Structure 1
């Protein structure tokens, strides 16, 4: 049986339903990310798991125990908030040990656990400082240690990195993942940042308008999106309007170019889509005109227009390689397996 089960959760605020029939089973030690735009319901689901919101319908089970109606302090859950929420009048050690003190853990055992947690987050010598004496990244690590100190069954992280600059976010997200794997704790991570979700998750739940549009591994979500929303929200996507010429053989026509996909297609018109790294300039393919070339270090990004479609092509940086120039007329193609076929 799965360690954490969210069973047909629904949540309404007055007449507005913000979460609709949400179900998810999470294995022990799994790292799950909820990914989606603002207002999609991901934080509301997290708050229901934590006990801060009561579901309008459905159940929440942790290790076989129905916790749907239990108070937050009865669920053995650790939570890290976006705004750190550290107590300004307590030292770092006091913050980390707060939950242990409330639980009645003896002073000596509490001190040992605090020292263990501070070593875990890489701040062993800062126990005597106050939150205002720490950087933003250090404060968030202290918040993580405070959540982990009571040995929770589930760890919840609500956009914990959104207030940090890019370099610190990268370092801290890797540290969160390392700690999570070291402890083997079941974790749900809420974010609207695609790169964060793709880089550290075992599975991703892409949410849209209160439902789970798709649940899968990062590779599945990126390479095999199940809906048009997932395809457009996760990563950059180039889209073409295509006419299906032969549904059985899988032939389509785009801007006068015939493309063989080798798969069964619906009749009529479809949207043909491909990631920037899948498209390439080739002798045959869709006619396009280069509108710009950007150097991004590891890649050159080509911008082009094909009919009414604005395109982005990424090519690995190969010093000395000749690149198309703005204004050049080229043809663009991709391997048959790289094309996504979406409803028109």
Structure 2
């Protein structure tokens, strides 16, 4: 059942339309990520849901109630910011209990809820410390506990991990997702990091120039991009210009190699999208083949990334590292196997 509905949402600042006809239905307990580059409108959407910005047009409903014009403190929403926003003069426990205190909750109830939240974020012994005595990851955990303490209907996360170093970021995103699942709270998460969105989300909204270009599961967003922008923005993508030889069978020529895609294509030229991991070294029965010359080789640990010349076009290929095989060398001419069904046709 739909719990949060955003209908035809618009936001303009003067003549600049930042959000354009944005629509989204969120199920109760779902984790949704708004993913896109800087300036695409994702944070503006989040701020309108929170009540920090009023929509220029459209409606926002939570549990059937229109909250579009309500003040933030009347929406029962918890929010976690990028910069922690903890009160430096309050202890950890006082920060976590702040929202409950503002609501006038009894001291005993506040103490019990604070203890529950500190246990939930794995900091049960830190209640008497001050924010400056905590690491960045610990401060963000406290900010999350403060947002959750008043039992909000919806949790909003505005790039909460971007200020942390890589190892802490990976650990904390796993913790946030585990806590969200445990509580079953409806969550909207804003990020420009593809890996965060793909690993954490039930569904992803890819935004581009104020518009939701595609809404789907991480699997669909990555493997079945609906627009050229989504195909290029999410993950690494090779784009190759192909000459169509037979439109009916999808027979195309790329850099001197012929592929039969097995689907109808327009005549002339098309642009094909190939993920680096879709290609394998060597010819294989029933697979299409591409031939090229290795110009660069990067050893990345678990992955070996090759860069090849296919005539006047370039191609990146990711191979899994294995101790049982010697990697090819720069200058080698190699054949690559490709399942034609994996090739994306992303434009003429």
Moved over 6 A (4+): none
Aligned length: 344
- Residue 3 of structure 1 aligns to a residue whose secondary structure is strand
Structure 1 residues not aligned, in runs of 5+ = none
Partner of 1:282: 282
How far apart in 2 are the matches of 1:253 and 1:309? 12
- The CA deviation at 1:307 is 2.6
Q: 1 CA distance for matches of 2:66 and 2:6?
A: 10
Deviates more, 1:267-276 or 1:194-203: 267-276
Q: Which residue, 324, 328, 333 being the options, matches 1:329?
A: 333
Q: 1:96-115 alignment to 2 at 5 Å? A: 96-115=96-115
User: In the alignment, what sits opposite 2:174?
Assistant: 174
Q: How does 1:174-193 map to 2 (within 5 A)?
A: 174-193=174-193
Deviations 1:153-175 (A, max 9, x none): 00000000000000000000000
In the alignment, what sits opposite 1:316?
Answer: 320
| Alignment match, 2:260 | 260
- Mapped partners of 1:2, 1:273: distance in 2: 35
Larger CA deviation: 332-341 vs 284-293: 284-293
Determine the structure 2 residue equivalent to 1:211. Answer: 211
Root-mean-square deviation (CA), in Å? Answer: 1.0
Q: Please list the CA deviations of residues 97-151 of structure 1 after superposition, one character each: whole Å capped at 9, or x if unmatched.
A: 0000000000000000000000000000000000000000000000000000000
Normalised to the residue count of structure 2, the TM-score between the two structures is 0.97
Deviation per residue, 1:169-205 (Å, 9 max, x gap):
0000000000000000000000000000000100000
TM-aligned CA deviation for residue 329 of structure 1? 1.6
Q: Distance in 2 between matches of 1:257 and 1:70?
A: 61
How many Å apart are 1:256 and its aligned residue? 2.1
Partner of 1:127: 127
SS in 2 for 1:277: helix
TM-score (norm 1): 0.98
Aligned partners of 2:256 and 2:310 also within 8 Å:
no
SS at match of 2:2: coil
Q: Following TM superposition, by how much is the alpha carbon of 1:300 offset from its aligned partner in structure 2, in angstroms?
A: 1.4
